[in-house]
Chain A
């Protein structure tokens, strides 16, 4: 025995999948901190392996390049979500530094080994034969499935920790240094969003991708691609710089995206593709609230952007432009919003439910990225807006001895700064105000994601019955009986974390 790993790529992927499943079975061995610490490595390795696989889309005439398909974009989104979560945890006492989770580390190592094997045999890629293409789709599905199961395992472990901390607090025992219920809850919410995103990819592609013949309708395809590109770019931009102009554009784009999702799901519900009652009672109010909160954030960022710093990251602007154009193509008719029948002609309404679930999962993660920005010490704001916010927040804080003093000097913004309205550091009061707004944003988006997760597509048979005007047995099913998929077991319901 030389000790050299002789497993094939297929065997490495299969073992990774099995290891992820095994983690779920060994609930007693779950320790949230090491798992959370190691999870980023798993996603990173999965992403690198994905990049090493041959592309599944044909070469574009003229450019000689392959365009990414929806799963390619999804893995980029998952990578961006994971990096954002890792950045948030950096420097915090929990999960902090320490040993990794050995099982997750094994998965990451298997992925890395598989990527090395593929890269080591890289040759010019001829058109793939049918068996090769099926094998490639199976490998991609296996990677995505491992991420799906793995994220669920880490989420379950983090959920256990949240419960422990809640019980500690309920029994009036103080939390020890490094324990933070808020951080644990935030990590859990982000893992749930990750899991939903990976699950949506599997649910959308698994059977059809194996058949190898599926093609998305053009309009929804463009929108899905634009939204995925937007999500990845927003994460990238917010990761490399904290700038109120970028944050404003992000918030405004998210507001438009949620408005559009609300319109599309309404049309889908009206046409019988989605459960109308679920839409009316849960999803629509949640989407409106979420959209309002993004609009509030956009207003705050607008006020805090100094006049000389209105420029946004060109890549972010480009992604927002394409997102707006894709939404415009679907929803606008001249100067007004298109009639439902026109929207129905332009897109495949049966795919709107899944698209909404993916959008709302990534939406929650962007809300967390926004929250991270509010706590970043490098964040600055326009002096005049900072001054106004400082006075307003002090005014409502009875503990502050300067509450009744609303002079500009009391807000620690100099008259010179006020005159030029230049960027100044944020006083604690103002930062707290922004963090509270971002907390509210996260709450609203978590509710929206939860509402979308319970949005059942109406089966074709029920749609026909419904259109005939007769009640349907399945449509009459109790709300609590509806779940998106089997992995929902144990997942928190709306507001259960509050």
Chain B
């Protein structure tokens, strides 16, 4: 059953957004680790794409938010990216701060590029 308290919904969306940023930051770190030993151009595209997506997500969060706390244990960047995308579906877009739709489009583009 959905909550009718708007403040509660906003809080959930904010928490989800923090987790999305956390997942993206972890995916970025994992992609970078892989790129250190694999010269594949595809990994370079993914790494830079994740870097920019993480940056976009952080812009939506309060300053000095630490997204490295409680880092997920998953190491596959694409699984982490997919988890981030699934998390954005939990809330209506209007519950997220302005600019989130661009972030979601970036995440979906990355998934289409690397794991359709």
Interface of A with B (CB < 8 Å)? 245, 248-249, 252-253, 255-256, 259-260, 263, 288, 291-292, 295, 298-299, 302, 307-308, 310-312, 314, 317, 320-321, 324, 327-328, 331-332, 334-337, 421
Interface string of B47-84 (1 = CB under 8 A from A): 11101101110110001111111000000000000000
B15 at the interface (CB under 8 A from A): no
B44 touching A248, Cβ below 8 Å: no
A327 proximity list for chain B (CB < 8 A): 45
B42 at the interface (CB under 8 A from A): yes
B47 touching A252, Cβ below 8 Å: yes
Partner of A307 from B36, B41, B69 at Cβ < 8 Å: B69
Complex Cα gap A253–B55 (Å)? 14
Partner of A259 from B29, B32, B44, B49 at Cβ < 8 Å: B44
Interface string of B94-116 (1 = CB under 8 A from A): 00000000000000000001111
Complex Cα gap A291–B58 (Å)? 27
Q: What is the minimal beta-carbon distance from A310 to any residue of chain B, in angstroms?
A: 6
A299 touching B36, Cβ below 8 Å: yes
A324 proximity list for chain B (CB < 8 A): 45, 48-49, 52
Closest to A331 in B: B41
Please indicate which of the listed interface residues B45, B56, B58, B66 has the most CB atoms of chain A within 10 Å of its own CB.
Answer: B45
A334 touching B41, Cβ below 8 Å: no
Complex Cα gap A263–B47 (Å)? 18
A-B contact pairs, 18 of them (CB 8 A): A248-B51, A249-B52, A249-B55, A255-B48, A256-B45, A260-B41, A291-B39, A299-B32, A308-B64, A317-B56, A321-B52, A324-B45, A324-B48, A324-B49, A324-B52, A335-B42, A335-B115, A337-B42
B32 touching A311, Cβ below 8 Å: no
A307 proximity list for chain B (CB < 8 A): 66-69
A253 touching B48, Cβ below 8 Å: yes
> A263-B41, A308-B64, A336-B42 are known contacts. Are A252 and B48 too (CB-CB below 8 A)?
yes
A320 touching B68, Cβ below 8 Å: no
A328 proximity list for chain B (CB < 8 A): 45, 113
Complex Cα gap A260–B45 (Å)? 10
In the complex, given contacts A248-B51, A334-B116, A335-B113, what are 4 additional A-B residue pairs having Cβ atoms less than 8 angstroms apart? A252-B44, A259-B39, A310-B25, A320-B48
